[in-house]
Amino acid sequence: MDNRVYEAIEAGDHEKLEELTKNGTNFNDVDMYGELPAHKAARWGYYKCLKILVENGSSLDSTNNNGYTPVQIAAEYALAVDSGYHACSGKLHNYDKCLKILKEQGLFLNEGHWPQYIAELP
């Protein structure tokens, strides 16, 4: 596992992540929770990091140790924020952008599980 990838994502540092793409960094290393970098970016709403991961072949359909894919994590957090159950700082309210990126990759949740504003995206 390349800790530099996880450190960049946890900091929301998309510029550092972009720099790592030039070194042939593996974006499919799994951490002790069974999570890929895409899981982390989706969890924190770092859509710029997620976009870089997608563009560089990060797996998006892998499940973590709890059985969740990145799209499920992003949707869960988006719904929690929308319903007021998740009180996070403003910098983390980009779940809609993460979900849009994932949806553009053909990743979908069952009907009715998308937040309304994402479900209506073309």
Q: What type of residue is 70?
A: P
Q: Are 42 and 74 in contact (CB under 8 A)?
A: yes
pLDDT given at position 68? 86
Structure tokens at 69: 């894919």
Query: From residue 13, how far is each of 8, 10, 16, 43 by CA, in Å?
Result: 5, 8, 5, 15
In the chain, % of residues over pLDDT 70? 74
CATH homologous superfamily of 3-119 equals: Ankyrin repeat-containing domain (1.25.40.20)
The ranges assigned to domains in the chain are 3-119
Structure tokens at 46: 């770092």
| pLDDT tens-digit readout, 51-88 | 999 999 998 888 999 988 888 888 777 766 655 555 55
Q: Give this prediction's pTM.
A: 0.78
